[in-house]
Structure 1
Amino acid sequence: MIEFHGVEKEFPGRGGGAAVKALDGIDLNIGRGEIFGIIGRSGAGKSTLIRVVNMLERPTSGRVTVAGIDMNALDAAGLRAARRGIGMIFQHFNLLSSRTVYDNVALPLELAGLKRSEIRAKVEPLLDLVGLSDKRDRYPAELSGGQKQRVGIARALSSEPKVLLCDEATSALDPETTTSILRLLADINAKLGLTIVLITHEMAVIKEICHRVAVMEAGRVIEQGDVFDVFTAPRHPTTRSFVSSVVGAELPDTLVERLSAEPLPGGNPVLRITFKGALANTPIISQLTRRFGLDLNILHGRIDHIQGAPFGTLVVEAVGSAEAVQAAITFINVNNLSVEVLGHVPANLRAVG
């Protein structure tokens, strides 16, 4: 649906200084009907990337196609027509304070020259879709942040786009409202078959609704793939940093302080066992205890679901002989689970989280 081919974007440097490269050779394909997340820290280039889709920012080089249309090659009239098929919502809503909810949603249709009856036929179902039929005559100042974003979504859908671009659409919202907006977007994706591109700096947002994700850093895509695969086996250090706090892979500070890289006299190794997919229900702890005579002290752990599939990590202190621990590690690997030795702790360490 959306393809980036060698896309680069440079901005002039301040005061005649060196140009700033915001996008550096982006190659990316976004499929029709999927929810695609793009994540990165501030300055990574993610907002610039989404703005080259509808040519709010023209790439310095490379090509962007949407539904087979080369966006770079369009003249002004062609670009206006193409943009009607690309909706966009923003972090700060961009509503007109002097217009009611109904009139904000109707604005793009008025500008397109539709009759009042045609506008009404489009706007009223959209207000119902986003749950704001009872707020149609309210003004933005009378709405909550979540309600304002729902108006923005309805307005973006008024031209019946095939693509919806979401630029940090939930960043200004509280967690509960964020969840409701993300569920609305997922519902719209399912009902309308809309392709949604979602820009965020929060991995929890990606986890909630995205099918695939691209991670950006310094204008480049450093990792991409199915959300489940990226969450359960991140390859790049930046991706691991994003993922760790969401899936519970980040260790509590109290445990980190006690970990030693080298074995301790009378101490025990600390293992992190990773469960995913169908293997998440494997009773591995009881098996290790019975087979190898180990006592496993649980120090930290979390079980979650990503894209409907279970995933979890369990950090344990393994109390037993070195031979038994090594045999247990081999057994875990043979059973297609993941295990790593995080370090060593003094004996009798209590659970820390």
Structure 2
Amino acid sequence: MIKLQSIEKTYPARGGGAPVPALSGIDLTVGRGEIFGIIGRSGAGKSTLLRTINLLETPTAGRVLVDGVELTALPAAELRAARRSIGMIFQHFNLLSSRTVYDNVALPLELAGVRKAAIRQAVDPLLELVGLTDKRDRYPAELSGGQKQRVGIARALANGPKVLLSDEATSALDPETTGQILELLADINRRLSLTIVLITHEIAVIKEIGHRIAVLDGGRIVEKGAVFDVFAHPVHATTRGFVDPVVNRGLPDSLRHRLSPVPAPDANPVLRITFTGDRATSPVISMLSRKFNLDLNIWHGQVDEIQGSPFGTLVVEAVGTTTAIEAAISLLRVNNLGVEVIGHALPGSLRAAG
């Protein structure tokens, strides 16, 4: 549905200096009907990348294709027409304060020269879709933040787009309203088979409704894949920085200071075990203790769901012979359970943690 090929974007520097790179070597494909999340910290280039899809930002190099049409090759008039198939919603809503809810949603159709009767036939169902039929004649100042964003979503859908771009659409909302807007976007995705690309600096947003994810750092994609896979096995340090707090992979400071990165006399290895799918509730700890005569002191753990599938992490201190611990790690890996040694418990940690 969307293909970005070898995208580069640089901005001229102030004072005639060297150009400032914003995007470098971006290759990305988004499938039809997919909810694709792009995450990055401030300055990573995610807004620039999103605006490249509809060519509100023209790439310095590379190709942008949407639904088989190369936007980067279109003359201005054809590009304007092609943009009608790409809707966009914004963090701060961008509603016209002097127009009612109905008139804000109708605006794109008015600009396209659609007749009033056809506008009414399009707008009224959209207001019902986003749950604002009773707010039809209200003005933006009379609406809550969540209601304003619903107007923005309805307006973005007015031209019947094939793609919806979401530019930090929930960042200005409270957690409860954020959940409601994400639920609405997921419902629209299912009902309309709409391709949605959303950018955010909050990975919990993508965890909630995303199918696939790309992690942006310094204008480059450093990791991408299915949401479940990236959460379960983050590879890049930037990705781990986003994922660990959300799925509780990280250790609290009270436990982290008890770890040594290298083995020390009388120190025991500390393992992080990752459980996915049916294995998330399997009795692994008791099995390892019996089979290898190990004491496994539980430091930290959590069971969560990602995209409806169970996912869990458990941090344990393994007390036993080196041979037994190595055998236990091997057995975990043979059974497709993630396991890594994250450090070694300093002397006294077992008593303190237990």
What residue identity is the alignment partner of 2:321? S
Secondary structure class of the residue paired with 2:351: coil
What residue identity is the alignment partner of 2:101? V
**2:348 is aligned with 1:344:** no
Q: Which runs of 5+ in 1 are unaligned?
A: none
What residue identity is the alignment partner of 2:188? I
Alignment partner, residue 301 of structure 1: 301
Secondary structure class of the residue paired with 1:84: helix
Inter-partner Cα distance in structure 2 for 1:187 and 1:345:
50
Inter-partner Cα distance in structure 1 for 2:56 and 2:12:
17
Alignment partner, residue 237 of structure 1: 237
Residue correspondence of structure 1 range 178-193 to structure 2 within 5 A: 178-193=178-193
Inter-partner Cα distance in structure 2 for 1:204 and 1:255:
24
User: Between the two proteins, what is the percent identity of the paired residues?
Assistant: 69
Inter-partner Cα distance in structure 1 for 2:296 and 2:108:
62
What residue identity is the alignment partner of 1:134? D
Question: Size of the alignment, in residue pairs?
Answer: 352
8 Å Cα contact 1:270-1:345 kept in structure 2: no
**How far off is 1:277 after superposition?**
2.3
What residue identity is the alignment partner of 2:351? L
**2:86 is aligned with 1:80:** no
**How far off is 1:269 after superposition?**
2.8
Of 313-322 and 97-106, more deviation after overlay is shown by 313-322
**How far off is 1:25 after superposition?**
1.7
Inter-partner Cα distance in structure 1 for 2:210 and 2:351:
39
**2:213 is aligned with 1:207:** no
Deviations 1:322-343 (A, max 9, x none): 3332332222222221222222
Inter-partner Cα distance in structure 2 for 1:226 and 1:262:
33
Alignment partner, residue 125 of structure 2: 125
Alignment partner, residue 273 of structure 1: 273
What residue identity is the alignment partner of 2:271? L
Of 98-107 and 336-345, more deviation after overlay is shown by 336-345
Alignment partner, residue 28 of structure 1: 28
Alignment partner, residue 315 of structure 1: 315
TM-score (norm 2): 0.95
Structure 1 residues 11, 267: closer, same or farther in 2, change over 3 A? closer
Of 95-104 and 73-82, more deviation after overlay is shown by 73-82
8 Å Cα contact 1:182-1:209 kept in structure 2: yes
Inter-partner Cα distance in structure 2 for 1:345 and 1:72:
58
Q: Which runs of 5+ in 2 are unaligned?
A: none
Inter-partner Cα distance in structure 2 for 1:275 and 1:51:
38
Inter-partner Cα distance in structure 1 for 2:81 and 2:351:
65
Of 338-347 and 287-296, more deviation after overlay is shown by 338-347
8 Å Cα contact 1:262-1:344 kept in structure 2: no
Residue correspondence of structure 1 range 126-141 to structure 2 within 5 A: 126-141=126-141
Inter-partner Cα distance in structure 2 for 1:235 and 1:69:
34
Structure 1 residues 59, 266: closer, same or farther in 2, change over 3 A? closer
Secondary structure class of the residue paired with 2:250: coil
Alignment partner, residue 4 of structure 2: 4
**How far off is 1:317 after superposition?**
2.0
8 Å Cα contact 1:105-1:123 kept in structure 2: yes
**How far off is 1:266 after superposition?**
4.8
8 Å Cα contact 1:299-1:350 kept in structure 2: no
**2:190 is aligned with 1:172:** no
